[in-house]
Structure formats: C-alpha cells, structure tokens
Amino acid sequence: MKASHLPSLIIFLAALLLSCSGDNRTFEIGVSQCSEDIWRDKFNQELRTGSYGYDGVTLHFASADDSDTRQIEQINRFVNRGVDLIIVAPNQTNTITPAIENAYRHHIPVIVYDRKSGSNHYSAYIGADNREIGRQMGNYIATRLQGRGRVVEVMGLRGSSPAIERHEGFAEALRAYPGIELAGTLQGDWTGASAERAMRRFLKREKGKIDFVFGQNDRMVMGARDAVMAHDLQSTTRFCGVDALPTHGGGLEQVRDGLLEASYIYPTHGDKVIELAMKILTHQPYEREKKLKSALVTRENANVLLLQAEEVVRQSDDLNRLHDKINDYLSRYNTQRWILMMAVVILILLVAAIFMTYRYYYERIRINEERERMQDQQLNFFTNVSHEIRTPLTLITDPINHIVNRGHLKDHDFDTLRSTARNANELMTLVSDILDFKKIEFDTAGNRIDRQENISDENVPEITETAIREADPSPDDNSETLLIVDDNADIRHYLRVVLHNRFHIIEAANGQEGLRLAREHIPVLIISDIMMPVMNGLELCQQVKGDTATSHIPVILLTAKSEDSQVAEGYKSGADSYITKPFSSAVLMARIDNIMQSREQLRRHYANLSTSVVADGVETSTAVRIDDQSQPSVRDQEFIGRLHDIIQRHMIESEFSVEVMGSEIGLSRVQLYRKVKALTGLSPVELLRKSRLNKADQLLRSTGMNISEIAYTVGFTSPSYFSKCFKDEFGIQPVELMRG
C-alpha cells in the first residue's frame, strides 16, 4: 500500500461506517403561522408530536404576528433556505399570494391550512368547513331563541377566509328565521381586545336588548362579553363562539363554566397536517383539498369532551417524555458510535503506520543487502580482473629481477633491464591502485591520494644488485618433493624455475589433481593458487589438512585474493602461509625457508622426544623448545599417539613389520615412511627399533628381568644381537644397567 492511498482509505472506511446507519434522508419543513395564540400553540405542538413518527424531519416555526409583510418575508426566507416543504396559514387571503407563488416556482411544495390563499398554486389545502361552522352556529342560536330575538355577530380579521366564510354561513342560516334580527355585524381581528372595543362602541349607539352574541372565535366572544357585562351587569345576553379549545382558559372550559352557551370545535389536527406533508415529500398519493371534521360543543357535552381532551393531553405528554428519552438515548448512541468509529479509524491508522514502518525497514534491509551483494559482485569482478593482470605482471617483473640479480649481464643490458623492471613495477603499482578500488582514497578536493603502500613491499620485487641466488645447481636425487598447484601454466613454470634447484617439483593444474598427487607422493610442501577450476585451493587445503596421510604437509596459498577477509578465509582452511600476487620469488623463498626450518625444529623435537613419546606416551623432555608455529596439529599429535599404541601392542612380536604398522594406522608404506620421516626425522624402522631399545632401557632400570627376558619382551629374537644394538644406541652394555 502506498502512503498516498491512506487518506482515501480512511475516507472510504468512514463512509462505510456512516453508511451502516441506514437511510439518512432528512426533511426540512418550514411552518409559517399568521398569528401567535393558544390555538396555534396547540397546532404547533401537534405538528411536533406528529413529526416524531418520521425519521429525519426538522420543523422550523415562524409567526408573522398578524402582519402580512412579515409573513411574506418569512416565506421567502424559507424558500431561500431551500426547505423541502412549507406549511402556511395565510394571514389574509390575497395579501401573501406572491410569496406562495414564489415557493411554487422554486418547486417547493406548499400546504395551505386553516385559512385559504387567493392563489391556486399550492400543493394541498387542509382545514375545517368554515361556512358550515357559521351555518351551524346560526341554526343553533335561532333554535335557542325559538326563532325570535336580536343577534350580534363579531367577525374575525377582515380579508381572512374563515371570517368571510363563517359570516356567510351564519347569515345564510339566519335568513331562514324571519323572527331573528341581525342587529349588528362588528369587525374584530380574531383578538379578544378587538371584539371588546367593537362591542363597546356598538353598545354606545345601540339601546335595544341583545339576546345573543356570536363571536367568530371564543377569544373575541369573551372580549365582547366583557364589554356587555361592563355595560350592564344584569345583562341576560347569551354568548357563543368558535374554537372550543380544550386547553386551560380555552372555549371548552368556558362552555362548561356557563360563560359561553356553546362553541364549535375548530380542529387543529397538526398530526394530520404532518401526515399530509410526509405523503407529499415521499411522493405518495394524497387529497389536494382535505376537510377536517368538527362538532358543536354545548354544556351537555363540554365536560365529557374536556375529560377526553385531558386524557389526550396526558397521553401526548407521555409521548413527549418518551420521545425526549429516545432522543437522549439516540444522542448517547451517536456519541458512542462516533467514539467507536474514531477508535476504528485510529486502529486502522495504527495498523497502516506499523505496516508502513515495517515496509520501510524491510525495504532498507533489502536495499542494504542488494548494495552488499553488488559490492561483493564488484569485489569479485575486481579480484578476478586483478588476478588476471597481476599474474602476467608477476611473470614479467620477477623473472627480470631474477636475471638482473644473477649479475651476468653487460652494463647496458643491465641498465635496460633495470629500466624495464622499474616500469613493470610502476605498471604493477598502478594496476593494483586502480583495481584495489577499496583502498583508493580521495582528498577533499576530489584528487586521488597516492597510496604506494597499496602494494606491500613484500609484493613488489625490489631489484637489488646483490644476487639472492647462485647459479642453478641441479637438484640431487635425494631432494624432497614439492607440489605446485596452479591453473596458470606460466606460473607453474616460473615457480619450477625458481624452486627446481632445491626441490623435486611435481605439478597439478587444479585442486583435485593436486590432492591426488599429494596423497600419492606426500610432498614436503604444497604451493597452491586459490582460484582454480574443478577444486579450488581452499578446498584442497582443507582436504590435505583433514587426511591423516597428508595433514602434516605445510601449505602455502599463493593468490591474487588480497582482501583481509579472503586472507582470513585462507588461514581458516588450514593454510600455513598466505602470499598475495604479485609475489616476489625472494619473499616466497624466504617463506619456504622459514616453514622448512620450523619443520626441522619440529623434527628435532620429535627426534629427541619420539622415542620417549612413542615409547612411553608421556612427554618427559623439554630438551628442545619449539615455537608455536611449528607445533604439530592436533591431528598429528593424535597420529603420534596412535603410532605409540600400535608399537607398544606389537613390540613383543619380533616379526612385527612396517607394513603391519602402516595397515594398522591406515597408510600405505610410502605414506607412512614420508609422514613418520617428516614428523620425526626417523624412518618407521628406526622408530620401531628405538622404541624397542627405549622400552628395554626402562625395563632394565625398573624390573629384575634378565637380559634374555627383556630382549624377547621388546621383540628381539637374539639376546646377543639385542645387546649389540643397545650398545650402539646408548653406548653401554645392557648388563651394566641391570638392577642389583
């Protein structure tokens, strides 16, 4: 995963989590009320309670306080806000028509309720039949007055549809009763105060008795009643209104208490209005003109209706409490969901961060490994190339040195060769510098710093006029065998030239062949290259050191591999010496001399010790100190120990032969001879005889055995021959050592 994908991942997860919460459609509904009073409060409350039945409904309430201008502003604000639906009770029928049509143009559904609009551009109308209300009240009053009496009507706000329609219905009903006189039609504005004022004014000019006052709503008729009672405390005028609100101080109470003789339920039904709104919003079929049912309230049914209304209020309060509780739970649930979501997001971020950190480190490790691998490849390449170049260079410089140092040249030839040698040396230095890239250094200015020491002194042949070798003497027949292993024929040849006067040289072109020759001939020394086909020099060295027959043979590795790690690897394989190319034959000779001397030291040590070591198995002498380098290997010490055991076991057998000794220790005759000779300087036969005499010496000194017994015990068949040999070895007769 790339780091740039992380933000998209988080957004995706957040969206996924949010989408788990289901359908999230929300509806914004604007409610524009013409006035603010208890009837509208009840309506608003019913709307609110009704909306609880739907998810995601938000109501925005506004009241115009009986002002057309304010109501127009409010409706336009709802339109600009982009609400989904507007519910409007127009203050007057025609005045706010432009605002309703504006909403219509913006494709916002409009529900007109209670009061009508002059425009036809609305989605639905819902309200009671006001003409029918007026008619019913007219009939009621006429009936109560038994068709005879004087009646006054107080009208609601001029221009509002209920006022007009209620009046029309009322007047129409009264027309059927000729004995009923409509003594006055007063103008109010739906408020009690307006009716009280109008009635006071009316009573000032009207002197006759008024039997019944019909107020178009309960608030106005109560205002008119106040005026009548103020005018005449004994008045017998009866009153009725419209609304019959079940709330405290509403029409129902006033009818129950006898203040009003009747009222007419003007239904609020906010629940029905919200139901209609949701049908429109969710595109379900609905009635465009919906009439709400209503009924007359008199003293007979007021009490029952009040009780019912109280029950409804109680239930509605319960519902509200329940709703608040649910809201509380919901908000808690939402908070918890957010916390959970954040925890998940943080967890994902954390996992992603851990993953990226891991990737980053993994990538770094991989890059480092790759770099190391490339460096190794480079090193190998340079080593190989340097090997290729250094070898011919060695074969140029060292022979020149050789010729120069022999000193049989004319002056000008000598000078020419010296110059050739100098230039060849320079070329060697240059090649080494270039190829030995790890040692190339640069100063701060970027110039290469010359490091002459890149080629160690021992590797650069120095031309000196003092001859290091005399003219070639031919090797005599007894000269020891030296094995040269190198795949480069020139190197083999050159080494042969350098070494042939001291050693009998045998050659192999690879490690495998070299190993075969080493096992067959048991040479005194092996000089081997490392990089060779079939078997390399390191493996050859390991095999030589791991085989009893050859483990004592010193190995000199002669190679272009000059890295410290490569040298260490060479020594780990068991090499006794490591010389890097280009090499100087003088240095090589000096190394060989050292090794041979160490071996000689070792041999002398064994010559001195062998008899005691081999005879007794205990190192008792420290006559010759040997340095650490020439210590025999653990394997060779074991070999000596085993040889001792074999000799001790078979000493009594006079016919015990070198062949038996060889086969017991697992070596051929030649191998045994060369190995024993190399380690002790004695032949196996000499070693056996020395061991027998040593044992005899020990027996003579420590037991009471006679000469014959001792001679037979240590494997001699004739006591006189034993005595002769003993005298030869120790310079005294055995009888002289006998105890007692």
* Residues near ligand FRU (CB under 6 A): 35, 37, 39-40, 114-115, 156, 160, 162, 190, 217, 242-243, 266
Indicate the residue among 133 and 679 with the shorter CB distance to ligand FRU: 133
Distance CA 421, CA 296 (A): 139
Distance in Å, CB of 185 to ligand FRU, minimum: 17
Q: Note whether 267 and 242 are within 8 A (CB).
A: no
Comparison of 251 and 554: residue with beta carbon closer to ligand FRU:
251
- Which SS3 state, helix, strand or coil, does residue 736 take? helix
**Distance in angstroms (rounded) separating the CA atoms of residues 37 and 20:** 43
Per the CB < 8 A criterion, the answer to whether 90 and 116 are in contact is yes
Say how many C-beta atoms besides its own lie within 10 A of residue 370's C-beta. Answer: 10
Q: Transcribe 335-379 into DSSP letters.
A: HHHHHHHHHHHHHHHHHHHHHHHHHHHHHHHHHHHHHHHHHHHHH
Name which of 33 and 528 has its Cβ closer to ligand FRU.
33
Q: For 470, what's the count of Cα atoms within 13 Å in the CB-facing half-sphere?
A: 3
Find the shortest distance in angstroms from Cβ 29 to ligand FRU.
Answer: 20
**Rounded CA gap, 552 and 546, in Å?**
10
The two structure tokens encoding residue 579: 């010389």
State in angstroms the smallest separation of the CB of 156 from ligand FRU: 6
Beta carbon of residue 347, minimum distance to ligand FRU (angstroms, whole number):
57
Q: Looking at the DSSP assignment, which residues form a beta bridge with residue 505? A: 482
User: In the structure encoding, which two tokens stand for residue 114, read together?
Assistant: 């209670």
Decide whether 159 or 475 has the Cβ nearer to ligand FRU: 159
Query: Min. distance of Cβ 11 from ligand FRU in angstroms?
Result: 50
Structure tokens at 142: 């006429």
The minimum distance between CB 217 and ligand FRU, in angstroms, equals: 3
Minimum distance, C-beta of residue 46 to ligand FRU, in the bound complex (Å): 14
Which residue type is seen at 405?
Answer: N
CB nearer to ligand FRU: give 189 or 211. Answer: 189
DSSP bridge partners of 336: none
CA 454-459-464 angle, 5° bins: 120
Of 128, 102, 132, the residue nearest 32 (C-alpha): 102
Minimum distance, C-beta of residue 209 to ligand FRU, in the bound complex (Å): 28
Q: Which is nearer to ligand FRU, 40 or 692 (CB)?
A: 40
Tell me how many degrees the CA angle 134-137-140 measures, rounded to the nearest 5.
Answer: 150
- Is residue 86 within 8 Å of 110, Cβ to Cβ? yes
Closer CB to ligand FRU, residue 43 or residue 494?
Answer: 43
Question: Which is nearer to ligand FRU, 115 or 197 (by Cβ)?
Answer: 115
Of 266 and 726, CB closest to ligand FRU: 266
Q: State in angstroms the smallest separation of the CB of 88 from ligand FRU.
A: 12
Nearest C-alpha neighbor of 144 from the set 260, 304, 294, 293: 260
Q: Which residue has the tokens 């009222």?
A: 263
| Residue that is written with structure tokens 């110039």 in the block | 447
Nearer to ligand FRU, 140 or 266 (CB): 266
CB of 63 to ligand FRU, least distance (A): 10
